[in-house]
Every structure is written in structure tokens, then in C-alpha cells.
Structure 1
């Protein structure tokens, strides 16, 4: 999951001022983690203590409690939650039941297909031993807010790509699975995206582009550079791309690891340790 955090931090200053320069400065002075990392950590905390065989309402209630607790206790120094999700987190009394158009009785999904469901699921790709469970848990993690089919699909696609990458699948195999299962077009050349891509905060306008940035890369750093330099929602694009690239390349440059670890709070470091991420950190005391 450190790959997702690094992508988020690297993209944090470019979200509001996009760059098309592949050789951009990786970590300008104001670089820091955003809401993408906060919610990635929340889902990871939940997934590690969640009983996947429990009643669906029990699982969802635990996820809600974890996400709200993380948001309240770990404010993000960069970025900010989207309007619908901010209301869901902090002002549930303002939520509207989209089925009836009337005030909701509590926190409820709001039929979103935004990319927030996709960027927070990297832990799910690491934790389970089969694809079926991975996809099922990814749906639960998405549907608590992003219950639109595209919102669920985005979360499942990212989790599936990570699952395949960590289990040794080739890029061709990953591309074939994601294309067949989720019907994303992954044939668009990265160079074309680099010239034409603009802002899009939907899953369907973010997840394929993030996967293409990974597929066209040569190592972890080049994956991050490709994701950020196409423009758009830079922190989320790089967060998704970084999560897949970490699982595939199984190596992250030392300077990137050190930068991320210098910025994240102790609670996040504990989550990483519990997830077993200590194995590739160059300084084994960094956690």
C-alpha cells in the first residue's frame, strides 16, 4: 500500500495545477498526503479486522465506523473530501435518500461513480487468497458510499489488478483480465493520453487511465511519472497507479519510501506494519 501513498503524495501538488512535464519535480515543498491516503488507510484498518463471513450489515457498520474515525482523527494536510463524501462523513443529517428524494435516516450510499471508491481499495488487493473474495470485499468497500455500478466496478478493477500483480501475473494477463471483466478500454496509447487527457473524477475516466499508466511503465517511478504527467486528478491517478505498480514491480526507490515515511503519522505506519509492508523498506527501523 505504500505505493498508493507515494503516488498520492507525489500527485498532491499537481492536482490543482496539472503538469504535462514527465520530468516534473517529484516532491515539491508542499507535497503531502491527501484524503486519498487517509481513506486508503481506513479501508486497510477495516479489512484487517473485518470478518468477511459476518452479516453484511455488520461488515458495513464496522467500515463506516472506521472511515469516520479515521477522517476525524487524521485530518489530511493536502486535498479535501469531495462534496458528497464530506457530507457522508461529517454531516450525515444532510444526506438525501436518492431513491425517495427525502432526508435519509442516517449514513447511506449516494449512488456515486466517483473515483474515490477506486483509490481507497489497495489493501483489498493484498489481503485475500482468491479473486472471488477480493472482488466481493472490494464491492463492500465501495458500495457503502459509491454504490453505482461504475463506482463498484472501479474499486473491483483496482483490487483485481493488484491481486494479479502480486501473484505474478504478466502485464498482458492483467490487461486481458481487466478488459474482459470490466470492459475498460486499455488500448489507448499513453502518448495519446498525455496529449489529450483532462480532468475527470469519475471511475470510468480515471481507472483505465491509471492502469494504462502502469502498463506502459518500466518501473515504479516511471509509473508514477506517467500517471501524474497526463494531467487530471493527479493525486488519485497516481495513487491508483502506484498501488498496482508496487504489487507488480515489488520495489520502490529508497528516496520515495523515505519521503512518504517522513510525512505519514504513526497510525498509518502501524497499518503498513500490520500489512507486512516492512519487507521492502530499505531501513528496517523506518516503521
Structure 2
């Protein structure tokens, strides 16, 4: 895959962030984190990366999100050992049997649909794919979310992350404040959007624990308690992938997903915003089927 392209860079950054976060067993102010000692390689990625690869594959094949094809890709490549949640596992097994996502996804959680962070964790490469065409970013991100996450918060989380990656890929010199302001204008009214407003207010806060207390740390595995923190981390570290990852390790609960989202956004940026070779070498290779 050609890493000159923002979507490919984003996918690699997402995978490395995901795999790194999955290895950190002692988050917070443990010496391993404070001294920035990298975990032993290899780092295996999780369902975050597997589903992001499905989005990337769908975009390369169809040039847009074909929802039926995406649902089939999720079902075909589903690997239970990657750490899927129980609800996601049941859903994807139903898709594999031939049930339609149009019926299954809206029926989840008593007919409310899922507001989990799964649609957000996988979508950064899509934002980088469409880049400056933010109307397409919003439309296609929503389409990608609805295949599994039918709740408005789940959709809003996906839109927020995709827009953030798109802006990172096209505005290399943007300030942290301008970055979050540009993102929030495209996110529908939701708790996710309110959280991004709070993230903007917290940009001057150096202690990630304070940000986590206000924004959520992913403990509930919901879009609204995961995406705002990931965007705060990305906004404060647009030029440093490593700083973002280690800062996340001090505060996040759902660490692989927070790092996947944050890494996918930051790595979409051009120039010096790259993942260090040592981190890339430590990460498990992406699957051959992604193309």
C-alpha cells in the first residue's frame, strides 16, 4: 500500500495505535508509561483495525461506502479472537448467515441501535480518503456507521472522527483550537458534539486526567465517552504521534480504541506527522486481503 496517500497513512496509524494500546497492561502513572518504555514486540491489533481494513477495502473497490459490501466484508473477515464485543459478535454472525444489516442494526439494544464507539474506532481512513470534500466525508461516514451503529450518538461519533481525519490530512498548519472548531461545525447535535465543545475548552489543560474526568475515558465503550477525549488528544498532539499515544496511556480506559482513533487522525497528516519506524516494525502487519 502506498503510504503517500492520506487514507493509507491513516490506516497504518490507526493499526499501530490500536496495537500499542492493546499491549499496555499498566496504564496511568505506572513507570512503564511515565518512562515511555515500549512494550515487547510483536504488537497484535484488535477488532478496531480489522474493521478499519474492511472500510479501506470497500473504498478501494467501490470508490465509496457500499453498505451491503461493507456489511459483507465485516462478516467475512470477522475474527472473534480480535476482541469484538458480545453484541458486535452476535450481529456479525447474523450477517454471515445472510441476515440484512438493515434489519439487524436498528433492532439492537431494544430497537434503539448501538451508540458504542465501534463506528468511530474504524472510520479515520475514510475521512482521509475524501480529504477536503467534507460533505462527502459526513455522508460516507454516516453510511459506514449505520451498517452496525444505528443510534444517533454512534453516527455522530463516526462523523466527528472522519471529519477530524479529513482536516488533519488537508490542513497541516492548523492550530489545535481551529482544528476542533472545524470538526464540531460538521457534527450533528449530540452528546458527542457537546463533548467536543468541552474538549475545546480544555485545550489549555496539561493534565490528561482532568480532561478524562470531564470528557470520559472510554470506560462505557460509548461514542460519547470516547470520541471527545480522542479528539482532545489529537488536537493537542497533531505533530507528535508518540506524545499522543503516551498521553492516552496515562488516562484512557478503552485504550486500544482511544489510541486507534487518535492515531488514525494524526497519521493522516502530511510531512513530519509520521509513525516512527520502530513502532511500525513492532506492529503486526496488516492483512493481505486489505490490498
Q: Shift of residue 13 of structure 1? A: 2.6
Q: What SS does the aligned partner of 1:113 have?
A: coil
Name the residue aligned to 2:21. 11
The 5 A counterparts of 1:81-92 are 81-91=84-94
Distance 1:25 1:91, change over 3 A: farther
Instruction: State the partner residue of 2:190.
Output: none
C-alpha separation between the residues in 2 aligned to 1:89 and 1:7?
24
Does residue 80 (structure 1) correspond to residue 103 (structure 2)? The answer is no
Are 1:144 and 2:150 counterparts? no
CA separation in 2, counterparts of 1:93 and 1:46? 17
- Over the aligned positions, Cα root-mean-square deviation in angstroms equals 2.8
Partner of 2:289: 267
The Cα shift of 1:105 comes to 9.2
Q: Which residue of 1 aligns with 2:259?
A: 238
Q: Which runs of 5+ in 1 are unaligned?
A: 98-103, 271-287
The aligned residue for residue 124 of structure 1 is: 126
TM-score (norm 2): 0.77
Classify 1:17/1:82 alpha carbon distance in 2 versus 1 (closer, same or farther; 3 Å): farther
Q: Which moved more, 1:165-174 or 1:190-199?
A: 190-199
Q: 1:271-286 alignment to 2 at 5 Å?
A: none
Match of 1:108, SS?
helix
From 192, 201, 220, the counterpart of 1:200 = 220
Kept in 1, the 8 Å contact 2:117–2:221? The answer is yes
Deviation (angstroms), 1:181: 3.4
Output the CA distance in 2 between the equivalents of 1:93 and 1:11: 29
Aligned to 1:108: 105
Mapped contact 2:154–2:223 kept (Cα < 8 A)? yes
Normalised to the residue count of structure 1, the TM-score between the two structures is 0.78
Map of 1:50 onto structure 2: 62
Which residue in the other structure is 2:4 paired with? Answer: none
The alignment of Structure 1 onto Structure 2 pairs a total of residues equal to 252
Does residue 62 (structure 1) correspond to residue 69 (structure 2)? The answer is yes
1:213 positional shift? 1.1
Higher share of residues assigned helix: 2
In 1, distance between residues paired with 2:102 and 2:135? 32
Q: Helix, strand or coil: the match of 2:251?
A: coil
Distance 1:200 1:265, change over 3 A: same
Tell me: CA distance 1:19–1:124, structure 2 relative to 1, closer, same or farther (3 Å): same
Q: 1:23 to 1:113 in 2, by over 3 A?
A: farther
Match of 1:191 in 2: 207
Q: 2: distance between equivalents of 1:123 and 1:151?
A: 17
How far apart in 1 are the matches of 2:80 and 2:244? 24
Q: 1:27 corresponds to which residue?
A: 39
20-29 or 2-11, which deviates more: 20-29
Deviation readout 1:126-145 (Å, 9 max, x if unpaired): 21250000110000000111
